[in-house]
C-alpha cells in the first residue's frame, strides 16, 4: 500500500482490540483526580512489615473501589439490552503484564470488598506468576492458544459478540471460550499506566464484557500544595475513570469519588471509610487482616513471569495484574501500581 506495510504479528490483546472497537458513539463520562497518598505510602509499608506481603498503589485503589461499590450496590451492575442488572458480589478485575509488553491478561479478585489488601495482593501475585510461567490453564487455552489466538480478526469480532450474547442474554457459561470463571470480567476493571511513566490516561470501555467502569492508575509524584496557609510538598497519585453514563449519573459519581478517594487517602486494615459522619465498607475481622496462611510462599514458589499488559485483552482470559516496578514480582506485589516503597508513582485523581 505504498507508504504503509502490513504488520506481520499481533499480540492477543491487539487482535481483540481490532475485533471489538469501532469509532466511539456512546454516552461516556471521563473523570480524573490527584489523590493525596502522603499518608497511604507509609501505611502500605507498615502492612508489608506486619504481614510480609507488599501492597501496591494499584491494589490500594482497587480496594477503595470495592469499598465504594459495597456502599453503592445500585451501581454494581451491567447494562444488558435496555435494562440494568445488579450484581451481588463486588469483584475487581486487575490487569496483568504477562511478558514485558508482549501481551496482556486479567485477574479477577472475588468479593474484594471483604478481603484485606495483603490478601488481594497475594492472590494477584500468585495468579500473575502462574500466567507468566505458562501454567495458567485458562490463559493458555483461551487467550494464548485458543480461539482468541488462532481465529482471523474478522471472525474474532463475531466470536466476541457471540460470547457476550450467550453469556449475558442466554446465561450460558463462558467455558467454551476457555474461561473457567462464571463472570470473568468483574464489577470494575483496574489497570496501571504509571509503570510506563504516564501521569494520566483514559481507557475505553470493553463493550462485549458489559463492564461499565475502567480505572487507570498513573505514576505517583511529589507536588507542592497549600495546607493551612503553608506551601508543602505532598505525594499525589493520579487516578482516572471511564464510566458508562447509563449506570452512573452525576450524583452517583460524587458519592463514589468521595468514598473511594477517602479510603485511598486514609487506608486501614478494617476496610472501612467514614465520609461526612457515615461509615462505609464491609468491616473485615482482625483475624483476616493479613494474607491467607501460606499464600505469600505459594506466590513466590511460582516461576518468574514472561508476558505483557492492558485493559481489553485481559478481559478475554480473566487474569489481570500488572507488575509495578522491578522487584514487585519478587515480593509478591500485585500488578497495578508500583508499591510505595518503589521510588515511583503515587499520585491522585483529579476532582
What CATH number is associated with residue 252? Answer: 3.30.559.10
Q: Could you tell me where the DSSP H helices lie in 52-98?
A: 57-71
In a domain, 86, yes or no: yes
Rounded Cα gap, residues 268 and 14, in angstroms: 38
pLDDT of residue 346: 39
Neighbours of 43 (CB within 10 A): 17
- 20 lies in some domain: no
3 inside domain: no
- Number of structural domains found in the chain: 1
Query: What is the pLDDT at residue 326?
Result: 35
User: Quick check: is 126 in a domain?
Assistant: yes
Count CB atoms within 10 A of the CB of residue 228: 5
Residues of the chain with pLDDT under 70: 1-11, 13-14, 21-25, 98-103, 137-149, 174-181, 294-351
pLDDT value for 142: 62
* 332 inside domain: no
Residue 299: predicted pLDDT: 39
Residue 79's domain comprises 30-132+180-316
The contacts found for 7-13 with CB under 8 angstroms, 24 or more apart, are 10/153, 11/102, 11/103, 11/104, 11/308, 11/313, 12/103, 12/104, 12/143, 12/144, 12/148, 12/149, 12/313, 12/316, 13/103, 13/104, 13/308, 13/310, 13/312, 13/313, 13/314
Asked whether residue 189 is domain-assigned, the answer is yes
Spatial distance between the Cα atoms of 181 and 91, rounded to a whole number of angstroms: 12
Q: How far apart are alpha carbons 343 and 325 in whole angstroms?
A: 9
Q: Which of 182, 185, 164, 162 is nearest to 173 (CA)?
A: 182
Residue at 169 is within a domain: no
Structural domain includes residue 167: no
A 10 A CB-CB count for 85 gives: 11
pLDDT at site 298: 43
Amino acid at each position: 500500500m505504498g507508504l504503509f506495510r502490513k504488520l506481520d504479528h499481533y499480540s492477543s490483546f491487539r487482535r481483540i482490540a481490532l475485533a471489538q472497537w469501532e469509532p466511539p458513539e456512546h454516552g461516556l463520562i471521563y473523570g480524573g483526580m490527584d489523590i493525596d497518598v502522603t499518608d497511604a505510602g507509609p501505611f502500605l509499608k507498615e502492612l508489608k512489615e506486619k504481614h510480609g506481603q507488599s501492597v501496591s498503589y494499584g491494589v490500594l485503589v482497587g480496594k477503595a473501589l470495592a469499598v465504594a461499590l459495597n456502599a453503592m450496590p445500585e451501581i454494581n451492575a451491567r447494562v444488558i439490552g435496555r435494562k440494568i442488572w445488579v450484581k451481588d458480589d463486588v469483584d475487581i478485575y486487575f490487569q496483568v503484564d504477562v511478558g514485558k509488553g508482549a501481551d496482556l491478561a486479567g485477574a479477577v479478585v472475588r468479593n474484594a470488598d471483604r478481603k484485606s489488601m495483603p490478601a488481594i495482593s497475594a492472590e494477584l501475585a500468585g495468579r500473575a506468576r502462574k500466567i507468566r510461567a505458562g501454567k495458567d490453564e485458562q490463559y493458555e487455552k483461551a487467550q494464548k492458544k485458543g480461539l482468541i489466538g488462532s481465529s482471523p480478526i474478522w471472525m474474532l469480532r463475531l466470536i466476541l459478540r457471540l460470547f457476550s450474547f450467550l453469556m449475558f442474554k442466554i446465561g450460558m457459561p463462558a467455558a467454551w471460550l476457555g474461561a473457567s470463571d462464571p463472570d470473568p470480567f468483574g464489577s470494575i476493571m483496574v489497570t496501571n499506566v504509571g509503570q510506563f511513566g504516564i501521569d494520566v490516561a483514559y481507557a475505553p470501555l470493553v463493550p462485549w464484557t458489559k463492564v461499565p467502569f475502567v480505572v487507570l492508575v498513573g505514576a505517583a509524584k511529589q507536588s507542592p500544595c497549600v495546607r493551612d496557609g503553608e506551601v508543602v510538598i505532598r505525594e499525589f497519585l493520579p487516578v482516572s475513570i471511564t464510566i458508562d453514563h447509563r449506570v452512573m449519573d452525576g450524583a452517583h459519581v460524587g458519592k463514589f469519588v468521595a468514598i473511594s478517594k477517602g479510603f485511598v487517602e486514609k487506608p486501614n486494615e478494617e476496610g472501612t471509610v467514614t465520609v461526612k459522619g457515615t461509615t462505609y465498607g464491609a468491616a473485615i475481622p482482625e483475624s483476616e487482616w493479613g494474607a491467607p496462611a501460606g499464600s505469600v510462599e505459594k506466590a513466590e514458589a511460582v516461576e518468574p513471569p514472561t508476558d505483557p499488559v492492558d485493559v481489553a485483552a485481559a478481559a478475554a482470559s480473566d487474569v489481570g495484574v500488572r507488575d509495578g516496578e522491578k522487584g514487585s514480582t519478587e515480593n509478591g506485589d500485585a500488578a497495578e501500581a508500583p508499591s510505595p516503597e518503589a521510588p515511583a508513582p503515587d499520585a491522585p485523581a483529579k476532582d
